[in-house]
Amino acid sequence: MLALTRKIGESIIISNEIEISILEIKGDQVKLGINAPKSIPVYRKEIYIQIQDANKEAVESDASVDALRKLFK
């Protein structure tokens, strides 16, 4: 993991396409601004984990396979 120190108004650039800026610092919270192409999804980690879990459940579910089969009959 790369750990960086940034101040309000400063940014980091990832892969020439993504810019992360420090917008505000209040106590123990930091407000970030993320500028990325629309083709790159940006999620909070807890939401990303929920999406991954839901995808795993859908793949493992026999009901979803049966529902798809019915669509193509």
Q: Tell me which amino acid residue 51 is.
A: I
Predicted TM-score of the model (pTM)? 0.71
5 CB burial (10 A radius; 0-12, 13-18, 19+): exposed
Q: How confident is the model at residue 56 (pLDDT cuts 50, 70, 90)?
A: confident
- Contact between 37 and 57 under an 8 Å Cβ cutoff? The reply is no
Q: How far is CA 23 from CA 6, 36, 57, 66, in A?
A: 10, 16, 37, 48
Mean pLDDT is lowest, of 35-39, 60-64, 68-72, for 60-64
